[in-house]
Amino acid sequence: MVNEFSHEKSKLSASISWIISKAFPPQTPKPDIYNLIFDANTECQLTHHVIRGLTSNNLYSAACSTLFPNSRQETWTDHDCILRNLRRRGIPVLDEKGCQITQTVLQRDEGGNLHSTID
């Protein structure tokens, strides 16, 4: 149906856009490979570069380094460290059902749960 709005898809697109914007602050040029692509129905189509950046933790690590500049770079080395350090700072990482995302959940979902959000 034309003009149909999907809150979940919009939230996912906004979350990914936000993570990318934090991974590449204004003084750091964002590589074109991380641009989000929208189809004719304005649905976000993730490129393999964005998916790889999310599942490999590269985008999350870069975003956390920008958000927490006084922390050591090695603090954000892998998904488990990122999740642990965000929880330590009082930032829950939840899936679409409100359940906490853990390393076990990420491994079960074959390297990444793209529907998780940072609330």
User: What is the band of 111 on the pLDDT scale with cuts at 50, 70, 90?
Assistant: very low
Higher pLDDT, 76 or 116: 76
Predicted TM-score (pTM) of the model is 0.71
Q: Are 9 and 41 in contact (CB under 8 A)?
A: no
pLDDT at 37 over 70: yes
pLDDT at 98 over 60: yes
The pLDDT of residue 4: 66
Q: pLDDT above 90 covers what percent of the chain?
A: 0
DSSP conformational letter for 100: B
The pLDDT of residue 1: 45
Domain residue spans of the chain: 7-118
Please provide residue 74's backbone torsions phi and psi, each rounded to the nearest 5 degrees. Answer: -70, -10
CA dihedral 1, 35, 64, 9 (to 10 degrees): 0
Buried b (16+ CB within 10 A) or exposed e, 18-49: ebbebbbeeeeeeeeebeeeeeeeeebebeee
